[in-house]
Amino acid sequence: MPPFTEIICPVIYDDLSSAKNETAFATSSGVPSRITGISSRSISTVSLPSFVTISVFITPGDTAFTVDIPMPGRHMVYNALAAAAVGNIYGLTTEQIKAGIESLEPISGRFRMIETDKFLIVDDCYNANPMSMKASLDVLQDGAGRRIAVLGDMGELGENEVQLHEEVGEHAGKCDIDVLICTGKLCRNMAERAQRTNPDLKVIYEPDRESLLEHLEGYVQDGDTILVKASHFMKFEEVVTKLENM
């Protein structure tokens, strides 16, 4: 398997009171903690909870091990790598680091998978920013059945909020998904850009959460994989509850 060669730049300090000693970690060779191989398994409604596993080969210091990360998305690899670097600094064994990573359990609203008798719901509604929106859309592409993204406004983006919503819409238009449902004042920009980017993508716009909840049942069908994501103020946990109760 070819190495995953993007570099990540942060450092971890092994003495929190000073910055004299630092440990870099990356997804390529040349640093103390690195990843030399990565593979992912598709999202599906089979064999929960392992259906979202990413397998990585981590080399912290002079040791190496393979670990399954029980959450989807290559962005989770960076978190696991950081955890391995910290564990190595504080003297944990590879077995302890591996066990810690593999025991990760998502909490409500943070990429929690909910399997009902109709859908697979990806509950990622606790919060959102442009980077996390794009990462979640990337993961959704591996879903079984129709892949539906139910996205809402992102808050606290400042003067570039319109442009940033448009950028997420462009990314969605380039993703291999089937339906994009955009909700909220700012998400109109997302919907319009997605439709311009990919005229074949089914794009639905709802002005607010109440309207979305009223029409949602008509947008989904059995076998769908449904991503639900927005900033916390959008209260999209109500959308997740609605889907669970269908």
Does position 185 have pLDDT exceeding 50, yes or no?
yes
For residue 167, how many other CB atoms are within 10 A of its CB? 17
Does position 25 have pLDDT exceeding 90, yes or no?
no
Asked if 16 and 3 touch (Cβ cutoff 8 Å), the reply is: no
Does position 36 have pLDDT exceeding 50, yes or no?
no
> Helices 161-174 and 130-140: crossing angle, nearest 10°?
10
Residues in the chain: 246
Within 8 A by CB and 6+ apart from 2, the residues are none
For residue 99, how many other CB atoms are within 10 A of its CB? 12
CA torsion sign for 72, 109, 218, 185 is negative
What does the pLDDT read at residue 206? 98
Does position 52 have pLDDT exceeding 50, yes or no?
no
pLDDT in tens, 55-66: 555 555 566 777
Asked if 188 and 182 touch (Cβ cutoff 8 Å), the reply is: yes
pLDDT in tens, 124-183: 887 789 998 998 898 898 888 999 999 999 998 999 999 999 999 999 999 999 999 999
Mean of the per-residue pLDDT values for the chain? Answer: 78
Q: Which residue has the higher pLDDT, 213 or 69?
A: 213
What does the pLDDT read at residue 11? 37
Average the pLDDT over each of 49-58, 75-84, 99-108, 198-207 and give the range with the smallest value: 49-58
